[in-house]
Chains A and B, each alone.
Chain A
Amino acid sequence: MKGRLAIFAAVWCGMAFGSAVAGEKGSASGPSPSLPDDYSCKVCHWKDGELWNQETPTVSESELADDIHWQVGLRCHDCHGGAPSIEDYENHRTDESFHAIASPADIPGFCGRCHSKIEYMRRYTPSARTDQETEYWTSGHGQRLKESLEEKKVDKDVATCVDCHGRHGILAVNDPRSPVYPTHVGETCARCHSDEKRMAGRTYHGRPLGHDQYEQWQQSVHGQALLKKGDLSAPTCNDCHGNHGAVPPGIDSVANACGSCHAKQAELFSEARMKHRFEEIGLPGCVTCHGNHRIVQPTDEMLGMAKSAVCSRCHSPENEQYGAPLAGGEAAAAMRKAMEDLKQQIAEAQAKLAEADRLGMEVSGPRYDLRQAVDALTNARSLIHSFSLDRVQKALKEGLDVATNVNKRAEDALREHTYRRIWLAVSLVPILLVVTLLILYIRTLPIPEPTSPHEADR
């Protein structure tokens, strides 16, 4: 079996002759347009090669043209080893410098020969990372591969470097066409993780892996932001799970994963008693309330004790779970009420400002101030993650004071508009009275007969 695999790998990955350490021979001087005529790999693996036959896998220069390795001047033998010149060619099976890929388990090491060497990598990218291979072996994929190796039955369905990055034609990670570019990461992972057959029976720490994560993520606020709005800062699979060291975040590390973007909420949660309680009863942080892959836009309806509120799932008397105290439910209801009060004040102020604006009153000052109330509301929404009623109410109170003040100023503006109309009417009366009297007086003035001739127009 081992021998067959070796032959398969030699044929499949082929095109290898050359130096013992492939990478060290790579040239950083720039791309060359084509391979020399006496390049040994072409004989079998170019479609018009002399010894090519139907069973030999082929690679063409056009396939390789966009490959990042090809572009920096690396050629077949730089990765696959073996002699590049036909004169020096030696059979793959006997050539020790040829790097055979006998199974997927060889691939991390194959790529790692260069990518794990900082001395080599910095010739192309001074700040290149070289921990991908190490990380890989700590990932869920790497661990499963290792397990299968130990079981002496290599799990060929486990993802390795080539499953995400491709084989030949590997694009730079910042190339929008790359399968690991942020907008494509989801579908790349989904090639395996949405395959029901492939995922059947697979578990991680005893829990089934499932196969609907991608579908759920697509509907999430993150997926929508990335896929619909093209917001590259929106997280995709690798932002929470890691990329080379991809694993599902553990119960105690979920908040850290979310916190890498939602820092304030994570910090508040880490200081909250609720966090410790969650850990005690084995509930993951953020996802217990927000879900994991299908994280929807959070709304205020999630707070409180109404049926739609997540707090009521545990704190309600009808559905008491995990020993959650009812007092927590009362606190959540109080937070929600204070929040609704502020929202109502802001809405009223906005409506009055809009009306005053429509009437031509200058209200840009109070409108600007109202932003503070909106900011206070946003701040309170974050502070919910502290699970502290006092902190939330204090933030809301600050916003409420501003909104009430703006409301008053908006009412003043509307009142001022009414006064202006009244004073206009009052001032028009004497003006029109004077005009009337003047007209009456003018009518009493006789037009005298012409006495002095006007200067004749010439």
Chain B
Amino acid sequence: MSLAPVSAQGEKASWKQRLKAFFVERLGLEAVQSLAAKKTVPLHRCTPFYFLGGMALFLFLVQIVSGILLALYYKPSPDQAFESVRAIMTEVEFGWLIRSAHSWSANLLIGILFLHLLTTYMMRAYRRPREITWITGVLLLALFMAFGFSGYLLPWNQLAFFATRVGTAIVGVVPGIGHSLLLLARGGEEVTGDTLARFYAIHVVVLPLVTFVVLGIHLYLVQKHGMSIPERELARYGGPERVPSMPFVPHFLLRDIVGWYLALALLAALAALFPWELGEKADPFGAAPEGIKPEWYFLFMYQTLKLLPPYIAGFEGEVLGVLFFGLCGLVVLVVPFLDRGPRSRAVLNGLAAVAVAFFVVMTAWAFFPNPEQKVACIMLGTLLSFVSLTLLVPFADQRTPAYRLLIGLLGLLGLIFVGAAVWELIA
């Protein structure tokens, strides 16, 4: 009896067909094939936002691959961590590229996740039955921020050491459990080699495991419920069945791949032109260097805590700040349950607009704390504002006053940015 399948016409199948049949039979790929054939993506003005999730997934894959390569050479001990990263940068073939790609893609990933969160909120894609999809998404953002925080210390350089000391000290001000949390994070009272070992284990074992689980649930739910179409588009087309769509395979997937290739090109350019710097080896007994800063996505919190007075109404300012940000995180997590009608939605939208403005201003301020860098601060602020406002364009109907106001604002921001850039160049 021959193992080779025979076609309906009785012709012998080619080796490719036989190989495909081998895997389809054993892995049950019919379901995947059928899903891929049936899956479609709605086509409307907000469709570009659907690419953000895929882009984040691609950057996460870059993280995994580059992270595994770095782990081959990295040595997580205070005596060797810095030297091993330096060896990766200088002695290992293409080590510089891998490390820079890892660092840059981590930052791009967080940026994309912020945009994904914001656009999902703006499309109200968290509506029933997608509440858990939203919650897992917010948890993923928190997990990737934790990835960033734990990974920041691993090169064991001055800036990272002292920033981690400040960062973990903030955890310590949480009322009641603060000190226990601090001990848990540091593995002792101070940031030491134990902290490094702990952060490494968290970065490469704990967080990836948790992330895989949460990401798996998130992707399953996205698959189960399909893409959410904004209400405005549904109303415009007169119902979900009348909204045009394109097949996921190959139409949307190819577009995704274009985006991934472009992200890859961007990563290569960033890694080659702006290699991630290493700085100087951490000296726990030395003075804290000037300009200690966390990663950019923690800057808004860092700047706020810095600006808070020591005491507010008899309570420690820092404690209130930490509690405030904890509350903000909780509010973001339960947004689907807070959106209970037009009135609560208006409140939420107002809060979201304030939060975005707060994030932009505080980040720009903290990024350039030096008063002499006012122009650079303005440039960063206008750029972030431009990006945030651009996200609103698909939601505004053309030729309406709101649309004209939006375009006007974008033009104004563009002008300010160009003016500031020219001023900076001349000065």
Contact = CB atoms under 8 A, between A and B. Distances in A.
B129 A458 contact: yes
Contacts of A435: 258, 261-262, 265
Contact of A454 (B90, B241, B254): B241
Interface string A405-437: 000000000000000110110011001101100
Interface in B228-242: 228-229, 231, 234, 239-242
Interface string A429-458: 001101100110110010111101111111
Mostly, the B contact residues are helix
A434 B246 contact: no
A74 B86 CA distance: 67
B40 A361 contact: no
A158 B213 CA distance: 92
B45 to A, nearest CB: 15
Contact of A441 (B38, B244, B247, B254): B254
A434 to B, nearest CB: 6
Nearest to B130: A457
Contact of B280 (A364, A420, A421, A457): A364
A431 B225 CA distance: 34
Nearest to B128: A458
Contacts, number: 98
B3 to A, nearest CB: 36
Nearest to A442: B254
Interface string A350-385: 000000000011101100000000000000000000
A448 B246 contact: yes
Interface residues of B, number: 46
B251 interface: yes
Contacts of A448: 246-247
A439 B240 contact: no
Contact of A424 (B234, B240, B244, B269): B269
B67 to A, nearest CB: 19
B241 A439 contact: no
A442 to B, nearest CB: 5
Contact of B42 (A439, A454, A458): A454
Contacts of B254: 438, 441-442, 445
Interface string B248-275: 0011001101100110110011001111
B245 A423 contact: no
Nearest to B43: A447
A457 B242 contact: no
B243 to A, nearest CB: 6
A364 B280 CA distance: 8
Contacts of B198: none
Contacts of A441: 254
A362 B272 contact: no
13 contacts: A362-B90, A362-B96, A362-B278, A364-B86, A421-B272, A427-B265, A431-B261, A431-B264, A434-B261, A438-B257, A450-B241, A450-B245, A453-B239
Given A360-B277, A424-B268, A457-B229, 11 more contacts: A360-B274, A360-B275, A364-B278, A364-B280, A428-B268, A431-B262, A431-B268, A439-B258, A445-B250, A454-B240, A458-B127
